[in-house]
Structure 1
């Protein structure tokens, strides 16, 4: 009996000795190293989750992209549906009017652009060929002593560089709609998803919230509502910014045409600028290059310089007035973060990534800050204005 008791007592000393050794080992590590280690494994865990999420999104991009577009459209149309319902419209009629109006507007823009391009493209093509021939002849007659082989070689290198630099953006567009079937399927998914969000968006959100643990549902539900308010503000403000860009560049092209005998494809250029402006910071500039190219080919280099000045002026107005004051107040994201978000989104997913980068960053930012401040405990109704204060 005595031997057994001693053995049990000695066995109990082993865990205590191990614990003491662990404490001594921890004490021998500098405090800064322990803090850095604690931060490191947490950061690695977060990066691993983000990497898995990005991988899944890339694999399911033909479903994710239409769904993201549907969310943006729903954020635009839900206030309109609610406005009609407040004026005693039946819900089914308000939803039908919103969806049909969206389809009608988009279809009308597409038809208008197609008609304008069909009427002006042959003349633009002829002018492009003539401008290329004149430029080539000028280079042959210049003091540079270039030959046809030199010009063709330089032209091939320029085309290769353009193709290489734009590969990321083109791959994003091609991956989303590599065929007419993929495009049609994505369009139908977008329309159906938008319709169901307008009909039962709250029910869909409640089902999604129930996927989380019970203790986390209140925080996630409130932060999601705050994120939805931010997303709605972003869509409305971005449409206004895109409209200003399109009117500015389109009106500049039209005025130049009055002095130089007409400017072709003004409406398609304005529509392209409007759509491109949904990619903040760089969208209006990239689509505005089309106007500069048309002015260079169809008019003359001086008109192209004036058109370039108009594009830069519009971009400066957007960058120094619209983005900091209007967009900044709507999404609560610093302009520098917007630039890096667009660049990262374009690098990871091409055009869709650049398009969705800012709304995703803005929504996640305001949701995270709302949960971190703990406002969901004291202010469960995030639709109030004070819920978004300093978000």
Structure 2
């Protein structure tokens, strides 16, 4: 890379970051549309390879995607809202159970002093925070309802997402090819290699791990529904999302589901059925889902994913959350090449001049 090219790419990167920072409030629908187009492009490519035109392939993918989203809103969103309300109503019951049964057992078993733990104050704080949360949500909903401009903006963004997704998906391959031809000729092979590696890293997570999380959420929710748990859909969704970190979804899900099942049925035997559901989910993940959907591709480390999402949200808000994974994939690939370059450089393997002279002297004597 020449000196002028280094300055050019540095300026482009700074301008790009500044544009994102300044236009962050209006970028969300475009980034969501780009994300959906990226995830759907392999399916459209397969349909196109089967003999369909690009437009027909995109229309088929778009119709299926729209149907799934509509089904999600019509069937699951109201159920999730109802189950969240049910969960908030049962929190005081859980606190009473812990205070009257579990907390005394812990004190007796470990010979602890009850005066050290101010459980009443903790209970008051938790219940107060839940009440404040409900008041804040009601205030926000009331404010949105009263603001016609906010409703118009929300609806406009919601309508804009499928429009952006359709056009980006239709022209995805064309845009990638044009960007490739805009690169300097001496850098195009290297940048193309890095881009393919970034796609592999990002695809291994977004097209693999996210599918594993979705499948686990379905397995957990279905199993808990068969057990008869009222909060089956909510707990399954929470456990599936927490599966972004290995075993976290299992432990969080079984803990929340166990407490909810015991509060609902008041029967310790139901805990065995809850445990069986999550054990089956873990077996399916390790033996079927991860090998089938992720395979041996190198994706983003779970800790890197969590840090990237939190850092992006802190720096750029919701737009930063959407950009977190692509940026993390690029940084991971660059660090990998930087590590390879460092280990092959004189900085890593350079011998000192005295060692080199001693080695030459020994060779000469021999």
Give the whole-Å Cα distance in 2 for the aligned partners of 1:291 and 1:369.
40
Does the Cα contact within 8 Å between 1:81 and 1:94 map onto a contact in 2? yes
Does the Cα contact within 8 Å between 1:85 and 1:94 map onto a contact in 2? yes
TM-score by length of 1: 0.56
Q: What residue ranges of structure 1 are gaps of 5+ in the alignment?
A: 1-45, 171-176, 375-391
Equivalence map 1:72-221=2 (5 Å)? 72-117=35-80, 153-158=121-126, 183-209=154-180, 212-221=183-192
Give the direction of change, closer, same or farther, for the CA distance of 1:93–1:327 in structure 2 (3 Å limit).
Answer: closer
What residue is the counterpart of 2:310 in the other structure? Answer: 346
Moved more, 340-349 or 193-202: 340-349
Task: For residue 44 of structure 2, give the secondary structure of its aligned residue in structure 1.
Answer: helix
What residue is the counterpart of 1:246 in the other structure? Answer: 217
Give the whole-Å Cα distance in 2 for the aligned partners of 1:278 and 1:91.
35
TM-score by length of 2: 0.59
Task: For residue 186 of structure 2, give the secondary structure of its aligned residue in structure 1.
Answer: helix
Report the CA distance between 1:102 and its aligned residue. 0.8
Report the CA distance between 1:252 and its aligned residue. 3.9
Report the CA distance between 1:104 and its aligned residue. 1.0
Task: For residue 264 of structure 1, give the secondary structure of its aligned residue in structure 2.
Answer: coil
CA distances 1:95-132 after superposition (whole Å, capped 9, x unpaired):
11111211110220222113434776776666556555
Task: For residue 263 of structure 1, give the secondary structure of its aligned residue in structure 2.
Answer: coil
Give the whole-Å Cα distance in 1 for the aligned partners of 2:10 and 2:282.
35
Report the CA distance between 1:264 and its aligned residue. 1.2
Report the CA distance between 1:59 and its aligned residue. 4.9
Give the whole-Å Cα distance in 2 for the aligned partners of 1:139 and 1:234.
40
**Rg larger in structure:** 1
What residue is the counterpart of 1:26 in the other structure? Answer: none
Give the whole-Å Cα distance in 1 for the aligned partners of 2:338 and 2:64.
37
Moved more, 131-140 or 46-55: 46-55
What residue is the counterpart of 1:284 in the other structure? Answer: 249
CA distances 1:207-242 after superposition (whole Å, capped 9, x unpaired):
444665453344324432443354344333124311
Give the whole-Å Cα distance in 1 for the aligned partners of 2:104 and 2:45.
67
RMSD, aligned α-carbons = 5.2
Report the CA distance between 1:287 and its aligned residue. 7.2
Does the Cα contact within 8 Å between 1:342 and 1:358 map onto a contact in 2? no
Give the whole-Å Cα distance in 2 for the aligned partners of 1:286 and 1:67.
36
Give the whole-Å Cα distance in 2 for the aligned partners of 1:285 and 1:354.
25
User: What is the aligned length?
Assistant: 305
What residue is the counterpart of 1:331 in the other structure? Answer: 298
